[in-house]
């Protein structure tokens, strides 16, 4: 018997764990006053899967949490567990997609992929993940930044007929062609596990 909490997926602020651990200590103390002896503390997940600029790293989270545990839970009989799923999964998978159609609009280029919001990019909807610029491959070879040419505004869509199926509207990419491949990195967490075959389109 004990306390379990979750600070939220992809937490980037050290203060979130601090506040949760302080509240957990309050619950432990109240349980003790009521005659219960809690022996389990589950600090949940929410850890970052990779180092991102401006965000606390996994190592920083771990160091801060360990200091707090020593301060708030010095009793070594309390078992502490965590659920760092994203930390293990995020960098374990990359996603290769294909540009299936190209169009132009007044706001820039429109690229349609064979995977989208209802497939592997459901992380954009459910997990508020920001899609990072992919590696571009043409005719089986990676295109370097020098070869790519001028970057321009674009919208990247998934393959379904739903206008909501937008992977990103904030990315700048060079001019792409149908058949180009886009390799998205760090796509192991909260992606294929929740993907669907909406409109009959399987994930890439």
Which positions are annotated as active-site residues?
161
- Which strands sit side by side in the sheet containing 79-81, from one edge to the other? 2-4, 40-42, 79-81
Say how far apart CA 96 and CA 91 lie, in whole Å: 14
Give me 165's structure tokens.
């199926």
User: Which residues are registered as beta bridge partners of 157?
Assistant: 112, 166
Residue 6: Cβ within 10 Å count: 13
Distance of CA 24 to the CA centre of its chain: 26
């Amino acid at each position: 018997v004990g306390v379990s909490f979750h600070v939220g997926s992809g937490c980037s602020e050290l203060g979130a764990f601090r506040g949760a651990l302080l509240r957990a200590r309050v619950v432990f103390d109240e349980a003790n006053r009521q005659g219960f002896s809690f022996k389990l503390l589950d600090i949940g997940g929410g850890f970052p899967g990779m180092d991102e600029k401006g965000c606390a790293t996994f190592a920083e989270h771990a160091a801060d949490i360990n200091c707090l545990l020593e301060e708030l839970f010095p009793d070594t009989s309390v078992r502490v567990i965590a659920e760092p799923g994203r930390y293990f999964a995020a960098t374990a998978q990359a996603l290769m997609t294909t540009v299936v159609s190209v169009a132009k609009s007044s706001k820039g280029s429109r690229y349609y992929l064979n995977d989208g919001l209802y497939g592997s990019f459901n992380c954009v909807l459910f997990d508020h993940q920001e899609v990072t610029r992919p590696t571009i491959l043409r005719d089986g070879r990676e295109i370097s930044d020098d070869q790519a040419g001028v970057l321009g505004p674009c919208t990247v869509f998934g393959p379904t007929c739903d206008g909501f199926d937008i992977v990103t509207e904030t990315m700048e990419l060079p001019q792409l062609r149908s058949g180009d491949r886009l390799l998205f990195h760090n796509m192991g967490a909260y992606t294929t596990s929740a993907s669907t075959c909406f409109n009959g389109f399987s994930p890439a």
